[in-house]
Amino acid sequence: MKFKFSCVVDNKPLFQAQAYILINSLTKKLKIHPNDIFVHVPKNTDKSFLNFCEQAQVNVIKFTPFDLRNAYCNKLVQIDTFNALDDFDYVFFMDCDLAIVSLDNLTLNDDVYAKIVDFPNPPLAILKRIFEAAEITNFRESKTNFEINGNNLSEWNNCNGGLYIISKRFLSELGPKWKEYAKWCIDSAKLFTDKYSKHADQVGFALAMNALNKDVVHLDIKWNFPCHVNPNLLSDITPKILHYHDRIDHHMHIKKTGLPKVDEQIKVVNELISERNASTLDNSLFWNLRYSLYPELGSGVGSRGEILDFKKRIIKYATYFAKESTITDVGCGDIELTRDFSFQNYTGLDVSNEALKLGKEKRPDWNFENKSITSDEISESDIIFCFDVLIHQSKKSDFQEIVKSIVKKGNRRIIVGAYNKKPEYESEITYFYGGILEEIKKYEKYNEIAIVGEYRDVTVVVASVHNSDHQRDIPSENLNIAFQEVDRPDILQYLVDVSRTELGFFTSHYTRVFEYSWLFSELENVERSSIIDLGAGVCPLPICLYHQGHKVTTIDSHSLIRRQSEKKGWNEWGFLDYSIFGDIKSQNVDFSQFTSLRKYDYIYSISVIEHVSAVTRNKILKKAARLLKKDGILLLTIDLIPNTDNLWNFSEDQEVESTEIHGNIKSFKSELEKYGFHVLEEQIKRNIMGSRTDVYFVKSVLKSQSFFTKYLKS
């Protein structure tokens, strides 16, 4: 016996995901040939769903709506398709929210098979009124599967529209009548009342059958099992065909019912879907469903909570220069990651139209495209983002083509979150083909590349093209080494970008990669504070801290005044008036001459106090203690003579004083204690590339003022 299988799929993510499940159950479980499957779609159907149907090799029939007043009646467009075909005995008219597990023991001899409605909808009184108005007199009552308020009667031919099995020989007779009465039902909607007018297709079928003096053969509930019904009403049987309505989860699986035998059959279908996703994930269908039914989840755990905050920080630190840059965001999703940034030339790309709808609602001023970065229609950009897209490519060739396109079109910088090693956490929708770092490097385009962070198993790579003719700018090869050596390469990237953007260079003095990034990390998460930079020179830290919301005052007594017009000749020394970058106060005075009526939360200094005498150093500490609030923090980096704890005792290549007088870490800590400071943290960095010194990092808190300090004040 020859069967055909048919469904109507409206252009909505839920229906398309349901059709995905249905088609896979037919082809993978029942081994139905794709040529016997017919999918009817409206003419405006998303290209992504059409692509899936093409790959599945099923027949696609584009239709004009049966009647715009009632979308449920679109199932009647299937009639013409099969009246034009001869090579079948029965056709299954199916709602797309079915999953067929088995057709074993299904015996067909009669003209029409369907299941009586589960509930008496429309109610019996309304249904009788409709039959009377239609002048159909052979009304035959039948019990429904379940009752509503004690009522469980309907008309024999009022069947659940999820599945009709109709013989070829009868379809030509039934079809015209069904269409006629469906139209009549739509026209007579007042008879149904607003609540039940949607049942025009179902009642039209019943009227047509009665007009032809035919009775449907009722299918047992196992052939159209209502998974969506309250499980307390259901018997735990082994269903052959599952009817689940919208009970589909965010992994495109049918939700379980709690009934063991039923759930075992659901498991069979879900395993089919898992196998399909693991081999060939249809990203468009998957993410359209996710963003349509479960928008609160975003693209998963990586798009919400702490991981979202982490990625926002990465974007913030890697896009300082990007306000007016052209930006392409590959797999932008619902733009929760980027929505709060002030990018002026942003384009979001996504395979999910549902995600793009959310993006357009949040940022109507931005551009969004339902295209891949591999498309010739997508232009080059200054910066390209791509988070959590590559890990969902089920084909290695797709993974490679996307990386290739990102590299080709990312002119200045790319920021990519993907696997750099085989992931510990695996799922049916994630895939690993090799490390992202090497995949980017093989194109030899970017001369500065850093792993700036990790979340779960995903590695974030920032790769940049940098060309500089500034004599003091750190060479790219040295910066690449630094990215691997510092604790926070994301912070170093930020400091470098700010410095190059505002100052024209990031110092080639290699120890600064450690000193600047350490200092910024200590202040990264503190609330808005008042800060003194002692011996600021020409440095990105005051600018970065200002952009973090802090009130910064820089103090430097250097006689060389740095002017904007001479930026090409700058190095990190000299006095710079930072007020040109924002609300930063700068004073060209010796620290001993600095006066303030206010007290400060933080004072920091980068490699300054070791270059003055021990006497002057003590005066600096005494002054710092006077300027800081109680519990204020003093952050210092201090050069050391290599492989010793002795403070560096040279300034501009001249010895300041002997090491015995100049002191060491132990004596310096005693000085801190003398002025009321308590050391909270300390570390030493030795064997620094190209450096004549080691570096001591020390964080102290002003806990109390010693008797000695109070005496000096008095």
- Percent of the chain at pLDDT exceeding 90: 93
Look at the alpha carbons of 187, 193, 194, 200 in this order and tell me if their dihedral is positive or negative: negative
Total Cβ atoms within 10 A of residue 160? 22
The pLDDT value given to residue 403: 98
Helices within 301-369 (DSSP H only): 305-318, 353-362
Tens digit of pLDDT for each residue in 38-90? Answer: 999 999 999 989 999 999 999 999 999 999 999 999 999 999 999 999 999 99
Do 562 and 538 touch, CB atoms closer than 8 A? yes
Q: Where residue 399 falls among pLDDT bands split at 50, 70, 90?
A: very high
Which residue intervals of 222-296 are DSSP H helices? 260-279, 283-293
Residues 597, 711, 553, CA angle at the centre, nearest 5°?
25
Question: How many Cβ atoms sit within 10 Å of the Cβ of residue 60?
Answer: 16
- Residue where the block lists tokens 């003419």: 43
Q: Would you list the domain boundaries of the chain? A: 3-272, 292-465, 498-702
Query: What is the identity of the amino acid at 19?
Result: A
Average pLDDT over all residues of the chain = 95
On the question of a common fold for 292-465 and 498-702, the answer reads: yes
Helix (H) or strand (E) holding 686: none
Tokens of 144: 């429904």
Question: pLDDT digit string (tens) for 621-658?
Answer: 999 999 999 999 999 999 999 999 999 999 988 999 99
Q: DSSP letter string over 93-151?
A: EE-TTEEE---TT----SSEEEPBPSS--S-HHHHHHHHHHTT-----EEEEEEEETTE
Q: Give the model's pLDDT for residue 297.
A: 87
Q: Which of the four pLDDT bands, split at 50, 70 and 90, describes residue 208?
A: very high
Whether residue 122 has a cis bond before it, omega within 30° of 0: yes
Task: Give residue 707's pLDDT band: very low, low, confident or very high (50, 70, 90).
Answer: very low
Q: What is the mean pLDDT of residues 674-703?
A: 97
Q: 3-state class of 173 per DSSP?
A: helix
Mean pLDDT (whole number) for 14-18: 96
Spatial contact of 699 and 522, defined as CB atoms under 8 Å apart: yes
| The predicted structure's pLDDT at residue 706 | 53
Identify the CATH class of 292-465.
alpha beta
pTM, 2 dp? 0.88
Which tens digits make up the pLDDT trace of 475-498? Answer: 999 999 999 999 999 999 999 999
The one-letter code for the residue type at 289 is: L
Distance from C-alpha of 250 to C-alpha of 203, rounded to nearest angstrom: 34
Closest among 318, 409, 325 to 372, alpha carbons compared = 409
Q: What type of residue sits at position 608?
A: V
What is the predicted pLDDT for the residue at 588? 97
Specify whether the CB–CB gap between 120 and 154 falls below 8 A: yes
Phi/psi-derived region of residue 542, left when phi > 0, alpha when psi is between -120 and 50, beta in every other case: alpha
Q: How confident is the model at residue 12 (pLDDT cuts 50, 70, 90)?
A: very high
Q: Is the pLDDT of residue 299 over 90?
A: no
Distance CA(591)–CA(589), nearest Å, equals 6
CB distance 76 to 182 below 8 Å: yes
338-366: per-residue pLDDT in tens? 999 999 999 999 999 999 999 999 999 99
Q: How many CB atoms lie within 10 A of CB 421?
A: 12
d(CA 350, CA 67): 33
Element containing residue 513 per DSSP (H, E): helix 511-523
Measured in degrees and rounded to the nearest 5, phi and psi for residue 322 equal -95, 5
Q: Which residues of 240-263 are buried (b: 16+ CB within 10 A; e: fewer)?
A: bbbbbeebbeebbbbebbebeebb
Give the pLDDT of residue 714.
42
- Burial label for 559, CB within 10 Å (0-12, 13-18, 19+), is exposed
Cα separation of 473 and 462, whole Å?
19
For 3-272, which CATH superfamily applies? Spore Coat Polysaccharide Biosynthesis Protein SpsA; Chain A (3.90.550.10)
The answer, yes or no, to whether residue 705 has pLDDT greater than 70, is no
Judged against a pLDDT cut of 80, whether residue 586 lies above it is answered with yes
The closest alpha carbon to 252, from 286, 293, 298, belongs to 286
Fold of 498-702: Rossmann fold (3.40.50)
